[in-house]
Amino acid sequence: MPRHSREPLRELTDDERDALRRMARSRSAATEVVSRARSLLAVANGDGFAAGARAGGRNSGYGVGKLVARFNRDGLNALHTRPRDKHHVTYTTEQRASVLEEFRRTPDRELDGTGTWSLTTLQRAVRRQAGLEKISRDTISGILHEAGLTWQRNRTWCETGISIRKSSHGERVVVDPDAEAKKT
């Protein structure tokens, strides 16, 4: 059963109708703008939302109904894609610090079930803390990368720009002085 439209298309002004016709015929405008203009013109000519969807190359009239409501409210600005908000940071600075603190702790083989941290084992350990029960591996990875840590081939994380070289004289720590410049 089709959804009922709550808001029919308002009467178009001559300037709006001309602008929609130009946009519908445009070869240089974005495809989505041309599609929306064609859909609105079809609805303005008396066709239903389903016919407007077909005129714009879409399958469903529901989206055309939403477009019509937006056009009634915003005018020709409804043809263009609205900018989206950035993703909001979910975790506080203290929670991010506790993830890094957990990472820097040497894993206990009995408690954590591992000798080195992988993202999955670190996630299990971090999820035991209050407020971090739903933290994802991607979020943990992002926190570690922001802290300057990278995943290595030997399946461990290490500080970026710092490496431990093994030689016949023993181990020595080598620091890359240009590591910060290379990150950006």
Q: What backbone phi and psi angles, to 5 degrees, belong to 126?
A: -70, -35
Return the structure tokens found at 12: 């178009």
CA–centroid distance for 49 within its chain: 30
With b for 16 or more beta-carbon neighbours within 10 A and e for fewer, the 4-28 pattern comes to ebeeebeebeeebeebbeebbeeee
Strand partners, 174: 163
Round to whole Å and give the CA distance between 84 and 81.
9
User: Closest by alpha carbon to 79, among 42, 22, 32, 41?
Assistant: 32
What is the structure's pLDDT at 18? 94
pTM, full prediction: 0.48
**What is the spatial distance between Cα 26 and Cα 4, in angstroms, rounded to a whole number?**
31
User: pLDDT tens digits, the chain, 184 residues: what are they?
Assistant: 455 557 899 999 999 999 999 999 999 988 999 999 999 999 999 989 999 999 999 888 899 999 999 999 999 999 998 777 777 668 889 999 999 999 999 888 888 888 888 888 999 999 998 889 999 999 999 999 888 887 766 656 667 777 778 888 888 888 888 877 776 6
Residue ranges per structural domain of the chain: 14-79, 93-183
pLDDT of residue 153: 64
Cβ–Cβ < 8 Å for 115, 107: yes
pLDDT given at position 2:
55
